[in-house]
Structure 1
Amino acid sequence: MTQTGLPARRTAHHLLMEITQDGRLMAELIAGGALARLENDDRARAQRLATDTLRGLDRADRMLKPYLKKAPPPHVMNALRLGVIELCAGEAAHGVVNAYVEIVARNKRTQAMKGLTNAVLRKIAAEGPAGWTKRAIPLTPGWLRQPLVAAWGRDAVTGIEAAHFLGAPLDLTPKADANDVAKAVGGVVLPTGSVRVVNAGQVSALPGFETGDWWVQDAAAALPVKLLGNASGLKVLDLCAAPGGKAMQLAALGAKVTAVDLSERRMARVTENLTRVGLQVRTIVSDAFEFDETGFDAIVLDAPCSATGTIRRHPDLPYAKDGSEFGALMDQQGAMIDHALGLLKPGGRLVFCTCSLLPDEGEVQVEAALSRHPGVTAETPQPAGTDSAWATPEGGLRLRPDYWADQGGMDGFYMAVLRKPA
């Protein structure tokens, strides 16, 4: 980081403003060049600082509340939040306070509040890390927390929030032997066969990256393909394929894979990953509904969804979104299931999955599909390393971030296998 740290801090503040005020996602901002003008160290620092602040935002607000008679403008509030995160991580108070006072002072609309910023952050500095640890685990914003409590209960949601606050370790899917990969990268093999690495650092610097021995994929995201069992020789369609982890799994199992995705940019990344790991997949850029090739033995449909199961890694989501667009996604999911069933050969299997914590994007979708398609049945496979308690009444598997809490958790995911009548 540069000596003053101001460029990184200003960029982190910009990211927070765009996310919390304009509803933009972190990945979208970074892809649009939000970090482009920073030096490498500052780039990493800005992204990490913004991410840590989003992860602990509710706790930061509770620390600030006693020192604020009323909420200041968003420009000031986000500067204070960033300051809380840095001060409670043990950063030197002088540099932190001065930086955020300057950020507030540079804005004509808030420059009169630089004194408030200085006073509040100095009080936070006096509390320091000890004050931070006294506060409860950060709560999920109410628009999402309420349906989660309704679905899973308050105790489960508390566990989910604890997992979100801790963030996510790095999970790898090995192309071949998991034990060899774990030994090379200093990780552990999880019960389902993924390799988990804590404090991994730069992914591309890990042993086996250049030689294509593995790819990054959360352990939960690696399970849907395993529902198919032995896929060798099967003609399989990976619908909505990007970023490509499931296509690579299928190819590594010996399946004849066709990967379809709407985004040309995302499919280019899939092709790049396939080249790195040395696997062959037919890739097609197409709208899922316009793809009409039939006769597949199996289809994996990782449908577009709310992505609420990925908040461990994407803490910006509940602050950038408010759930208003989720209804349209749910309608699309049902239509995609119907379309995919039509592409299967008789007796073929559809693996439907979403990285969502909302039953309307999982259990409810499968129940509705079974009622719309007489003769279609739901199988209940139990891949190695999974818990029988994850099985759901309609025949799927429900994964939550609070599962494997002592091992670092997992993404929230739902998956089910639907078999077309022969």
Structure 2
Amino acid sequence: MSQPPAARREIPESLSARMGAIRLLSHVLRDGRMLGDGASGLTGPAAARALRLAGLVLRHMGQADAMMKVHMDRQPAAKVRDILRLALVEVFVDGAAAHGVVNDAVAMARMSPRTVKQSGLVNAVLRKMVDDRSAWDALPAPALPGWLRGPVAKAFGKDRIVGIEAAHLAGAPLDLTPQRPTEIDGATVLPTGSLRLSGGQVSTLPGFESGDWWVQDAAAAMPARLLGDVTGLRVLDLCAAPGGKTMQLAAGGANVTALDVSGKRLRRVHQNLERTGLQAEVIEADALEWSPEEPFDAVLLDAPCTATGTIRRHPDLPHLRTSRDVEALTKLQYQLLDRALAFVRPGGRVVYCTCSLLPVEGENQVAAALKRHDGLTVEPLDPAAFGLPEIAASALGLRLLPDLWPDRGGMDGFFMSVLKRA
């Protein structure tokens, strides 16, 4: 009598999450795609952990590679390198037990014919490295890629670069923009008015269902505040998705038109407006081709950019962006800025901003616009009036960098300016 086939061995959740993290790392480092895009193929309770682990590895990858360089004469295969990176970060950053981490790392190396022969290397090298805590603690924060580090250091100084890289390594807290008085345990009120928490599951926080607030970094919440009292004003939010600034303007009493070229991203705007009970006209269109029936009192343009100011919350960005991206984006930025200026009435204002560390996407764009448009002026902005430190002052607006408020958790990198038509 034949025996029934052996039951398929179930993979433990810890190993499943680690395998998912390795796949996500390949998705970013080899396929050149955003970390979140690869998460759609993950399911079950291990999915969230896999995404979190992959993000930790990308944030601390420079340290892991430096550690491996000391203990290895040559680089192993790409997948083995990712397995070693994950193990080091789990032990030294996430506080996982070394024994279980090493066992799962060896198990993952044995799963593929391409890496099985290096499973012994994984075991031997990891057991040496996980015992060397002092060496890990002595490693500096990972440096920005050269194409980005050079211009940023030139613009803001080498000392600030060190602070920016430290902020990227530390990661980002959770910031909320309230539309009505909100109390959340553990939240602090920043001088800019944002609420800040160390973390948490967003959908379970008090006030989420009732739309009392929305998630928005403290720096991203500043451009809309530069317009001051917008009660009754007709305001256009260009490149509006996912809608944080649209909601700010609507909550302030403006008659808002939210325009974006992406219908998929605009669905987020509709969802956010519905949850918060706020009103805005939402239009799917290309700003380079669309024109309003009449000019607006104000336009807010958060222009597409390299998003290098958001690295502390998106550690995959340094591995995806290159200097080649900058030229196409800067061309689009000045085209959009010219369109924004054409959409505003005489005497009206345009807020131009980008979440970039690069002056070529911020200060330089405003300086060039002033030369192109006769009578265009920049409104002076006092950082203290917006709850910001004096170091945020810029001749052309406000310049926020991730090293601001290191004792409070920093903020995203942003440049913003208020331009006024003659």
Q: TM-score range by the shorter chain?
A: over 0.9
The residue type paired with residue 90 of structure 1 is: G
| Counterpart Cα distance in 1 of 2:331 and 2:216 | 27
2:8 matched residue in structure 1 = none
The residue type paired with residue 344 of structure 2 is: L
Superposed counterparts of 1:5-404, under 5 Å: 5-30=14-39, 33-35=40-42, 37=43, 39-40=44-45, 42-88=46-92, 89-128=94-133, 130-177=134-181, 181=182, 183-198=183-198, 200-293=199-292, 294-382=294-382, 383-393=385-395, 395-404=396-405
The residue type paired with residue 77 of structure 1 is: R
| Counterpart Cα distance in 1 of 2:268 and 2:185 | 23
**SS of 2:399 mapped into structure 1:** strand
Q: After superposition, what is the alpha-carbon deviation per residue over 1:101-147, rounded to whole angstroms, capped at 9, x for unaligned?
A: 2222222222211111111111112224x432222222222232222
| Counterpart Cα distance in 1 of 2:412 and 2:364 | 19
1:4 deviates by 5.0
Gaps of 5+ in 1: none
1:408 matched residue in structure 2 = 409
| Counterpart Cα distance in 2 of 1:229 and 1:372 | 27
Range that drifts further, 94-103 or 208-217? 94-103
Partners of 1:259 and 1:281 within 8 A in 2: yes
**SS of 2:352 mapped into structure 1:** strand
Partners of 1:170 and 1:218 within 8 A in 2: yes
**SS of 1:257 mapped into structure 2:** strand
The residue type paired with residue 412 of structure 2 is: D
Gaps of 5+ in 2: 1-10
Partners of 1:380 and 1:391 within 8 A in 2: no
Partners of 1:87 and 1:124 within 8 A in 2: no
1:64 deviates by 1.1
**SS of 1:309 mapped into structure 2:** helix
Q: TM-score, normalised by structure 2?
A: 0.94
1:18 deviates by 1.5
Partners of 2:20 and 2:50 within 8 A in 1: yes
Based on CA coordinates, which of the two structures has the bigger radius of gyration? 2
Q: After superposition, what is the alpha-carbon deviation per residue over 1:344-387, rounded to whole angstroms, capped at 9, x for unaligned?
A: 11111000000000000000000000001111111123342023
| Counterpart Cα distance in 1 of 2:185 and 2:209 | 13
| Counterpart Cα distance in 1 of 2:412 and 2:186 | 22
1:14 deviates by 0.9
The residue type paired with residue 10 of structure 1 is: M
**SS of 2:184 mapped into structure 1:** helix
| Counterpart Cα distance in 2 of 1:380 and 1:175 | 27
| Counterpart Cα distance in 1 of 2:296 and 2:316 | 37
| Counterpart Cα distance in 2 of 1:420 and 1:144 | 33
1:321 deviates by 2.0
Query: Cα RMSD between the aligned structures?
Result: 1.4
Q: After superposition, what is the alpha-carbon deviation per residue over 1:225-284, rounded to whole angstroms, capped at 9, x for unaligned?
A: 111011100000000001100000000000000000111111011110111011001101
> What is the aligned-residue identity percentage?
52
Partners of 2:306 and 2:321 within 8 A in 1: no
Q: TM-score, normalised by structure 1?
A: 0.94
Runs in 1 of length 4+ with deviation above 3 angstroms? none
| Counterpart Cα distance in 2 of 1:91 and 1:142 | 32
Partners of 2:376 and 2:421 within 8 A in 1: yes
| Counterpart Cα distance in 1 of 2:275 and 2:375 | 42
Rate the CA distance shift 1:295–1:185 in 2: closer, same or farther, 3 A: farther
The residue type paired with residue 64 of structure 1 is: M
The residue type paired with residue 392 of structure 1 is: S
| Counterpart Cα distance in 2 of 1:117 and 1:320 | 27
| Counterpart Cα distance in 1 of 2:149 and 2:251 | 38
1:420 matched residue in structure 2 = 421
Range that drifts further, 263-272 or 407-416? 263-272
**SS of 2:315 mapped into structure 1:** coil
Number of aligned residues: 408
**SS of 1:83 mapped into structure 2:** helix
Partners of 2:235 and 2:254 within 8 A in 1: yes
Q: After superposition, what is the alpha-carbon deviation per residue over 1:144-193, rounded to whole angstroms, capped at 9, x for unaligned?
A: 2222212211110100011111100000000023xxx2x33430110010
